Amino acid sequence: MKKNFKIFAGSANYLLAKKVAQNLGVALGKAEVVHFADGECRVRVEEELGSGTIFVFQPLCPPVDENLMELSLFGNTLKRNGARKLVAIVPYLSYARQDKVHRKGECLSAEVVAKIIEASDFEKLITFDVHSEKALSFFKIPTENLSTLPVLAETVSSIFRAGKEKADALEDCAVVAPDKGATGRVQRLAKALGVKVVVIEKDRDLLTGRLKIKGVKGEVAGKRVVICDDMITSGGTLVLAAEFLKHQKVSEIFACAVHPLLVKSAPQDLQKSAIKKIITTDIIPVPKEKRFKKLEVVTVASLIASAIENNL
Ligand code: R5P
């Protein structure tokens, strides 16, 4: 493959960016990212950019706003230094949950993020398993929403297959959408596994953030289930869904989620939960202190590398 492209990475997930670059047989572009004492950031490109496409890799995980600003400054400096085509690879697009004005008086944050990225001279955005496709509708530049669920499906199916004949490994299994909004998204996992989807009916109080389960659409009793979500933030959704499913007499509970934010006591709560194993990706770094026994982190470096190849 002709290596007429470069990949730069902000500090959000440098390790994964490095793996992606290694997959493509290139080194990451040289840049300096400095954070001053007052929190301000400065980015400086330290190499010639050539004439190929320049990719900037930066998931918008915590510190969300800092990472967004870094991405934005990368766009600015790369354009000023002669980049011809700039593509933002933002595998986790934060603010996508704020895709509408939920209550009178609120800002439309997803629209603001789209404007910031566009104003930073990016000509395309590539993301993975975005929370809401609507958040992408605010972009005037082309966007691509790819999915890591086929990779997660491979891990789930090898867990299900362990100790079983291939033919009956997925018998009596179901994929669980933890809320109505997740139904479309989880179809991808269900399709890859060849099993049915059941949907939990959940309500979240917008003021308190408290969750309440009202019921489930579909048969779960006696089944091995895998709850599939786009992200784990506090872990509340998964813990509550698992508790509910346990009372519905499922035989085993697994979970998979693409973006492991794992804030506050999520690792401890999930370790204590009724879930047997939780599979996630390395899109967001999971430091040692957030790792727990039931968590398995699967790399999606080669999937992201393919996305880059397809955009050359
Ligand atoms: C909600 O609509 C999302 O898809 C996730 O279910 C939610 O953000 C997960 O958050 P938590 O882990 O805090 O329940």
Can you give the pLDDT at residue 210?
A: 77
Can you give the pLDDT at residue 209?
A: 74
Contact yes or no for 51/84 (Cβ under 8 A): yes
Can you give the pLDDT at residue 172?
A: 87
Cα–Cα distance, 281 to 256 (Å, whole number): 9
Can you give the pLDDT at residue 161?
A: 78
What's the sign of the alpha-carbon dihedral 284, 288, 293, 298?
positive
* Residue 166 annotated among the catalytic residues of the structure: no
C-alpha distances out from residue 204 to 30, 60, 170, 214, Å: 44, 24, 32, 11
Closest atom of ligand 1 to CA, residue 233: 12
Q: Is the CB of residue 70 below 6 angstroms from any atom belonging to ligand 1?
A: no
Closest atom of ligand 1 to CA, residue 131: 4
Closest atom of ligand 1 to CA, residue 182: 4
For helices 149-161 and 183-193, the axis angle rounded to 10 degrees is 50
Closest atom of ligand 1 to CA, residue 237: 14
Report residue 217: phi and psi, to 5°.
-105, 110
Can you give the pLDDT at residue 38?
A: 96
Q: Is the CB of residue 178 below 6 angstroms from any atom belonging to ligand 1?
A: yes
Cα–Cα distance, 56 to 74 (Å, whole number): 7
Closest atom of ligand 1 to CA, residue 230: 4
Q: How far is the CA of 117 from the centre of ligand 1 (A)?
A: 24
Q: How far is the CA of 261 from the centre of ligand 1 (A)?
A: 10
Q: How far is the CA of 227 from the centre of ligand 1 (A)?
A: 12
Q: Is the CB of residue 175 below 6 angstroms from any atom belonging to ligand 1?
A: no
Q: How far is the CA of 265 from the centre of ligand 1 (A)?
A: 14
> In the beta sheet, which residues pair with residue 224?
173, 252
Contact yes or no for 36/49 (Cβ under 8 A): no
Best residue for ligand 1 mutational test, from 92, 231, 239, 262 (most atoms within 8 Å of Cβ):
231
Residue nearest to atom 4 of ligand 1 (CA): 230
Task: Print pLDDT tens along the chain (312 aa).
Answer: 567 899 999 999 999 999 999 999 999 999 999 999 999 999 999 999 999 999 999 999 999 999 999 999 999 999 999 999 999 999 999 999 999 998 899 999 999 999 999 999 999 999 999 999 999 999 999 999 999 999 999 999 888 777 666 666 677 899 999 998 899 889 989 998 889 999 998 877 777 777 788 888 888 899 999 999 999 999 999 999 999 999 999 999 999 999 999 999 999 999 999 999 999 999 999 999 999 999 999 999 999 999 999 999
Contact yes or no for 188/149 (Cβ under 8 A): yes
Q: Is the CB of residue 98 below 6 angstroms from any atom belonging to ligand 1?
A: no
C-alpha distances out from residue 11 to 17, 18, 51, 67, Å: 9, 11, 25, 7
Set 202, 214, 246, 293: catalytic member = 202
Can you give the pLDDT at residue 95?
A: 98
- Whole-model pTM: value is 0.94
Best residue for ligand 1 mutational test, from 129, 233, 238, 240 (most atoms within 8 Å of Cβ):
233
Q: Is the CB of residue 183 below 6 angstroms from any atom belonging to ligand 1?
A: no
Q: Is the CB of residue 53 below 6 angstroms from any atom belonging to ligand 1?
A: no
